[in-house]
């Protein structure tokens, strides 16, 4: 039998540093983590660059649609000796081109008809006039409005009807009612 005191102890003390074999997996994990961190940072920078490019060139499609309109306007201005009828026809053609460009871009007119109910989300009341029509209906359109894919870019400027006041006070208000 051998003496237990003669064999060296194979257990490392608690505070001793790990050997090179134990450090290798830690280094590999640290490298993998650093690479993943770098990949994430690169993806974030690429996304920011893509967003900046998209913002910078967002209007490119609509500009391409409007170039023929600009060409038509320049041709009209260059036609100094044209007759009024020819100029009118050219302006009407230019207007059609512009409407087509708007349609392709998702721009729609907001042009309420007389008698249509006032919609505060799509119309802006510029005046309220006493009229025999139902209150809060459109009487006239001062300026058309426009939407872009159902988002109001500019509301239609309208005149709306208000209730006709009689001698006994405002029929909409309860403030002039006599109490018993």
pLDDT, tens digit (0-9, with 9 covering 90-100), for 126-172: 999 998 889 999 999 999 999 999 899 999 999 999 987 765 555 55
What is the distance between the alpha carbons of residues 107 and 105, in angstroms, rounded to a whole number? Answer: 6
Largest CA distance in the chain: 127
For the segment 33-92, what is each residue's pLDDT rounded down to a tens digit? Answer: 999 999 999 999 999 999 999 888 888 888 898 899 999 889 888 887 888 898 899 899
Q: Quick check: is 19 in a domain? A: no
Report the domain count for the chain: 1
Q: Quick check: is 164 in a domain? A: yes
Q: Which domain holds residue 149?
A: 106-168
Q: Quick check: is 148 in a domain? A: yes
Q: Quick check: is 149 in a domain? A: yes
Is-contact 151 121, C-beta < 8 A?
no
101 Cα distance to chain centroid = 18
pTM: 0.61
Q: What is the CATH number of the domain that holds 110?
A: 2.30.22.10
Q: Quick check: is 23 in a domain? A: no
Within the chain, where are the H helices? 20-56, 60-78, 84-105
Structure tokens at 72: 């038509």
């Amino acid at each position: 039998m051998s003496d237990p005191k003669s064999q060296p102890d194979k257990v490392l003390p608690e505070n001793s540093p790990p050997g090179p074999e134990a450090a290798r997996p830690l280094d590999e994990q640290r490298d993998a983590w650093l690479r993943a961190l770098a990949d994430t940072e690169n993806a974030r920078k690429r996304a920011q660059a893509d967003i900046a490019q998209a913002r910078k060139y967002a209007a490119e499609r609509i500009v391409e649609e409007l170039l023929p309109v600009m060409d038509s306007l320049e041709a009209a201005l260059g036609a100094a000796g044209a007759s009024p009828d020819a100029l009118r026809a050219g302006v009407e053609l230019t207007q059609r081109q512009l409407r087509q460009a708007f349609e392709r871009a998702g721009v729609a007119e907001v042009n309420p008809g007389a008698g249509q109910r006032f919609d505060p989300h799509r119309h802006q009341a510029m005046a309220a006039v006493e009229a025999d029509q139902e209150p809060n209906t459109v009487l006239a359109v001062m300026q058309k409005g426009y939407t872009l894919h159902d988002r109001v870019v500019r509301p239609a400027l309208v005149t709306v009807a208000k209730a006709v006041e009689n001698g006994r006070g405002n029929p909409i208000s309860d403030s002039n009612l006599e109490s018993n």
